[in-house]
Structure 1
């Protein structure tokens, strides 16, 4: 992993929607980091998060669909954090993503393993299935008990959203917290020397 990238935000391991919106974020200097910069990176991200099989190879249009969903989810999370009403069209499009594939599990039998319940979908709908799972996760997170624990990083140069694990946590990572504390200490020291 690139050492210049911050660690995953708290809650990203349990919530693919938080993981997805964290693939585009601000860094100091008002720059943005894009982790899904094409179909190859998008495929790797989906595979790493267990949302598509290892042998998946997405095309440009699938990459575009997923990054569009990311923007829509970010809008919903931002609206939630600001206590605002989200755009009705964005909400409708996220709901459409939730309904893209059947959510009913079917029964299969695998020789040597036995019965298992799976969500059946054609190979041509891999990205739609992944998007449905991510959108459903966002819906459950925004409407569930954890919604009150969502927070945007308190570091001025960071815009990542995370699940607050305790009341005193205001940063998405130790790196952001250390940066804020160092800036405060520097400002305090500078003020003391000019006084």
Structure 2
């Protein structure tokens, strides 16, 4: 991924990519349980303040998975007229429902103002979150909104290599797949299809 990719774009893509090919022809979910979400948040220290201390529970897992479904539905909408990821094709939320879910998650930012005035420094007011689960979903929703409304959305594509379910940002005009291994699988599949057609 390009170094110039914004923090929001990277976070939104990384959330969508928690659904991935499992290496055996199926789909894996990195957010299958609270431990998976805990590990994911800790690997993304910019997601929320104190990410290193974050511990997911069932409520935060459900909230983030619901948000991810909305983000992937909006990604599928963004890649039109191209096809969405195969992982999403049969279970996409309608776009208005996905937008409503994203907006509702973004609005869940219960914060309180807290004055900080260290010795020898100017006073500053910071906003502290009251609820960590809501803070996480709100931060992820804000990142997804910034990505979807920003210029990087124009480069968003779904990878259509066999067994791949990823979205990616197109880095150059000829790029068709999310990574070289997907391109190799796609070429091999086309080769086998051509030979089957010739033999038939």
TM-score scaled to structure 2, two decimals? 0.74
1:77 pairs, out of 51, 75, 78, with 75
Return the offset for 1:164: 0.9
Alignment of 1:110-125 (within 5 A): 118-122=126-130, 125=131
Is the 1:26–1:159 contact (alpha carbons within 8 Å) kept by the matching residues of 2? yes
Distance in 2 of aligned mates of 1:12 and 1:176: 25
What's the C-alpha RMSD, in Å, of the aligned pairs?
3.7
1:91 pairs, out of 87, 91, 99, with 99
Partner residue of 2:180?
174
Partner residue of 1:56?
54
Return 5+ residue gaps in structure 1 as ranges: 1-7
2:134 pairs, out of 119, 128, 132, with 128
1:18 pairs, out of 1, 13, 16, with 13
Output one character per residue of 1:12-62: Cα deviation in whole Å (capped at 9) or x when no partner.
Answer: 975211111111134566511111111111011011111242122221111
Distance in 1 of aligned mates of 2:120 and 2:199: 75
Match of 1:151, SS state, is strand
Distance in 2 of aligned mates of 1:113 and 1:56: 29
Distance in 2 of aligned mates of 1:103 and 1:151: 35
Distance in 1 of aligned mates of 2:120 and 2:33: 38
Is the 1:155–1:171 contact (alpha carbons within 8 Å) kept by the matching residues of 2? yes
Match of 2:157, SS state, is strand
1:100 equivalenced with 2:129 (yes/no): no
Return the offset for 1:187: 5.2
Partner residue of 1:43?
38
TM-score scaled to structure 1, two decimals? 0.76
Partner residue of 1:156?
162
Return 5+ residue gaps in structure 2 as ranges: 83-92
Distance in 2 of aligned mates of 1:179 and 1:159: 13
